[in-house]
Chains A and B, each alone.
Chain A
Amino acid sequence: MAHHKEIFEDCEIEIKEDTNLLINGKEIDYEHDRDINKWSSRYLPYTRYDSLLEMARAIAQHTVEFSNAKE
């Protein structure tokens, strides 16, 4: 099983065994629609993504829990 870890937008994204997603050590719940192979999460409720990593990066970038935008 693949294990992926990267730093994106100052967040640590970790995907264990292609399924378990953690951002900054926090486990992220998500849904995978196997019929159309799309991922979605309550963190970004208006979009489906083509891969788990793409969704993880979007969560890191856009949710106020993880993004680091400063005035």
Chain B
Amino acid sequence: MAVRKDANTLSAAERAEFVAAIQALKAEGIYDQFVLRHANAIMSAIHRSPAFLPWHRRFIFDLELELQRVSGNPDLGIPYWNWPSGSANASMWNDNLLGGNGDAQGIVRTGPFRAGQWTVVNASGLPAGPLMRAFGQSGLPTLPTQGEINQVMTVTPYDVSPWNLSSNPSFRNQLEGWIGPNLHNRGHVWVGGSMLPMTSPNDPVFFMHHCMVDKIWHDWQIRFPNQRYLPETGGPFGQNLTDPMDSTPSGQIGPRPIDVLNSAALGIVYDGIITQPQPAIPHIIVGANPTQADIASPGETDLFQFEIPSFGPYTMYTTGSSDTFMTLLGPNDPNAQVASNDDGGENLNSQITRNLSAGIYYLRIRLFSARTTGNYAVGVRSDGNNPNPVTELIIDGASINAAISAANESDLYRLNITTEGTYTIQTNGTTDTFITLHGPNSQIPVIASNDDGGASFNARIRRQITAGEYFVRVRHFSPIGTGPYAIRVTRE
């Protein structure tokens, strides 16, 4: 199985093998076919659009297969360019791997791809001179930092309409670099020269660069397993989940985004050394003064978390002069959206007031315009010491009829157990319910959960319970589902 490693960590033998394989593909004419596949693709079909990531995943995967074939080593993986430690003095730019920067005219004169040893081709496949590089000289003098990568790693969803370079919030668009700190585009522009046009695969660092892009997407997919590729349908042709992508030939794997979403299924393994995708999420204390924050770069998204100790009405709000947009997620799931708001507060501030069950919630804050920056403060307050009382489930009492009447809504019930025993909590009706049991004497610890243990799609928990106060939370299995149900608890 091929393991994709940080290029700076390759041994001398691994470097020699990779260089020899690239040179062999060049001699066969295969390498230039990859340049033409990229150069002659419809630009908006493979860049500035949702298919940017799956298209390039398939592209470098295909090259990796060719490298394995020509080297006779099925474990040869494309190394990735670890930007935070990959600047001009990094060992990946030594003469035994990529060679270094261009000279005063931008011509690369060191390493295996130097002038006289390596000729680039134009979009027609004709020879077009030596490889060119001009590190940091094309308008962007620095490479992405680990902090900037971590920032992009917090962004969800995968992509949003209008599915282009204006999409926000969009993980794809931030990773590509049209909003936020600029990751992928910056790598191309930092190298400069041959990495600037659509013929950019002429420079072998292209594949290491896109291997890093793919690694970040790979890590993001692991971090957010519930975040799907978007659009599934309704986007431009070639961008939807099951559309064939432009300039993607038949091969060992299919040409659609859905064919490349699962890296593990493709046998792709990253060494896992560099990306630390778990930045600390700042806490907001309920009832405390608002926390000061700012959107320092256009398109940036901030994430906060707070803990709700018990069911009740709460207000999440921003203050300040910025036009904020707020998304509430949870409980206990940073991917489950509860509500969002633009201008519910004073001036252009966002505000959400809602009954919340106990648990950990998350607030994602961005500015309404993806092109602006600004300060704001964010806070959470409880709207009363005596919120709507929690309905009590009476042991062996009558069923309680209720309903999930809005997307992401959940209902909370209290259960007072005075005698240890085996109890059954179940729903009835036509709604696909999901229940969790919390306690004892707290709304937070989950001690049991169930989806379809009851009749049809009803939930059912049967459990030995000690004396104490417990809580039952009922929601629809689908985050957007609604419907009536009945709930009852019995003792054996």
Interface residues of A (CB under 8 A from B): 35-36, 42-47, 58, 62-65, 67-71
B47 lies within 8 A of A64 (CB): no
> Which residue on chain A has the smallest CB distance to residue B195?
A46
- A residues near B120, Cβ cutoff 8 Å: 64
Rounded to whole angstroms, the CA-CA distance of A63 and B196 in the bound complex is 7
- A residues near B448, Cβ cutoff 8 Å: none
A43 lies within 8 A of B129 (CB): no
Which 9 A/B pairs are nearest by Cβ-Cβ distance? A64-B128, A42-B43, A46-B188, A46-B185, A64-B122, A63-B197, A71-B115, A62-B196, A69-B129
B115 lies within 8 A of A46 (CB): no
A62 lies within 8 A of B193 (CB): yes
B132 lies within 8 A of A69 (CB): yes
A69 lies within 8 A of B43 (CB): no
- A residues near B189, Cβ cutoff 8 Å: 46-47
B419 within 8 A of A: no
B47 lies within 8 A of A45 (CB): yes
> Which residue on chain A has the smallest CB distance to residue B131?
A69
User: Apart from A64-B129, A64-B197, A64-B202, what 11 extra A-B contacts exist at CB < 8 Å?
Assistant: A35-B371, A44-B196, A45-B43, A46-B188, A46-B200, A62-B193, A63-B197, A64-B194, A68-B129, A71-B129, A71-B130
- B residues near A70, Cβ cutoff 8 Å: 129-130
- A residues near B121, Cβ cutoff 8 Å: 64
Interface residues of B (CB under 8 A from A): 43, 47-48, 105-107, 115-116, 120-123, 128-130, 132, 138-139, 177, 184-185, 188-189, 192-194, 196-200, 202, 371
Rounded to whole angstroms, the CA-CA distance of A63 and B192 in the bound complex is 11
Rounded to whole angstroms, the CA-CA distance of A69 and B196 in the bound complex is 15
Rounded to whole angstroms, the CA-CA distance of A65 and B48 in the bound complex is 23
- A residues near B130, Cβ cutoff 8 Å: 69-71
A71 lies within 8 A of B116 (CB): yes
19 A–B contacts, CB within 8 A, in A order: A45-B43, A45-B47, A45-B48, A46-B47, A46-B188, A47-B138, A62-B193, A62-B196, A62-B197, A63-B197, A64-B120, A64-B122, A65-B122, A65-B123, A65-B128, A67-B128, A68-B129, A69-B130, A70-B129
> Which residue on chain B has the smallest CB distance to residue A68?
B129
- B residues near A69, Cβ cutoff 8 Å: 105-107, 129-130, 132
Residue in B43, B196, B199 whose Cβ sees the most chain A Cβ within 10 Å: B196
Rounded to whole angstroms, the CA-CA distance of A34 and B188 in the bound complex is 25
Task: Tell me the minimal C-beta distance from B260 to chain A in angstroms.
Answer: 21
> Which residue on chain A has the smallest CB distance to residue B196?
A62
- B residues near A42, Cβ cutoff 8 Å: 43, 198
Rounded to whole angstroms, the CA-CA distance of A46 and B43 in the bound complex is 10
Task: Tell me the minimal C-beta distance from A1 to chain B in angstroms.
Answer: 28
Rounded to whole angstroms, the CA-CA distance of A9 and B428 in the bound complex is 77
A67 lies within 8 A of B196 (CB): no
> Which residue on chain B has the smallest CB distance to residue A42?
B43
A67 lies within 8 A of B129 (CB): yes
B107 lies within 8 A of A71 (CB): yes
Task: Tell me the minimal C-beta distance from B316 to chain A in angstroms.
Answer: 30
Rounded to whole angstroms, the CA-CA distance of A61 and B138 in the bound complex is 11
Rounded to whole angstroms, the CA-CA distance of A58 and B188 in the bound complex is 14
Task: Tell me the minimal C-beta distance from B358 to chain A in angstroms.
Answer: 44
A64 lies within 8 A of B199 (CB): yes
> Which residue on chain A has the smallest CB distance to residue B44?
A42
A43 lies within 8 A of B185 (CB): no
- A residues near B116, Cβ cutoff 8 Å: 71
Rounded to whole angstroms, the CA-CA distance of A25 and B413 in the bound complex is 76
- A residues near B200, Cβ cutoff 8 Å: 46
Residue in A42, A64, A65, A71 whose Cβ sees the most chain B Cβ within 10 Å: A64
> Which residue on chain B has the smallest CB distance to residue A58?
B196
- B residues near A58, Cβ cutoff 8 Å: 196
Task: Tell me the minimal C-beta distance from B162 to chain A in angstroms.
Answer: 12
Rounded to whole angstroms, the CA-CA distance of A42 and B130 in the bound complex is 22
Task: Tell me the minimal C-beta distance from A11 to chain B in angstroms.
Answer: 14
- A residues near B192, Cβ cutoff 8 Å: 62
- B residues near A43, Cβ cutoff 8 Å: 197-198
Task: Tell me the minimal C-beta distance from A33 to chain B in angstroms.
Answer: 8
Task: Tell me the minimal C-beta distance from B209 to chain A in angstroms.
Answer: 11
Rounded to whole angstroms, the CA-CA distance of A23 and B116 in the bound complex is 28
Task: Tell me the minimal C-beta distance from B390 to chain A in angstroms.
Answer: 49
Task: Tell me the minimal C-beta distance from B264 to chain A in angstroms.
Answer: 29
Rounded to whole angstroms, the CA-CA distance of A64 and B138 in the bound complex is 16
Task: Tell me the minimal C-beta distance from A10 to chain B in angstroms.
Answer: 13
> Which residue on chain A has the smallest CB distance to residue B121?
A64
Rounded to whole angstroms, the CA-CA distance of A69 and B189 in the bound complex is 18
Rounded to whole angstroms, the CA-CA distance of A12 and B106 in the bound complex is 21
Rounded to whole angstroms, the CA-CA distance of A63 and B116 in the bound complex is 20
Task: Tell me the minimal C-beta distance from A62 to chain B in angstroms.
Answer: 4
- B residues near A44, Cβ cutoff 8 Å: 196-197
Residue in B121, B122, B188, B197 whose Cβ sees the most chain A Cβ within 10 Å: B197
